[in-house]
Amino acid sequence: MIDPSVVRPEIALDDFLPIFVSSALVLVFGGFYVGIYTAVKVKLLKTWTMVIAYAFWMLTAYCLYLMGSLMHVDKFTAKALVIAAIGLFLLPFAVYYMQDQVHKENEH
Question: What's the pLDDT at 107?
Answer: 75
Q: Which of helix, strand or coil describes residue 86?
A: helix
Whether residue 61 is contained in a domain is answered as yes
Total domains, the chain: 1
Residue 6 lies in a domain: no
Q: 14-53: per-residue pLDDT in tens?
A: 889 999 999 999 999 999 999 999 999 999 999 999 999 9
Q: Within a domain: residue 5?
A: no
Rounded Cα distance, 93 and 38, in Å: 10
Structural domain boundaries enclosing 22: 16-105
Q: Which of 99, 92, 97, 94 is nearest to 32 (CA)?
A: 92
pLDDT in tens, 84-103: 999 999 999 999 999 888 88
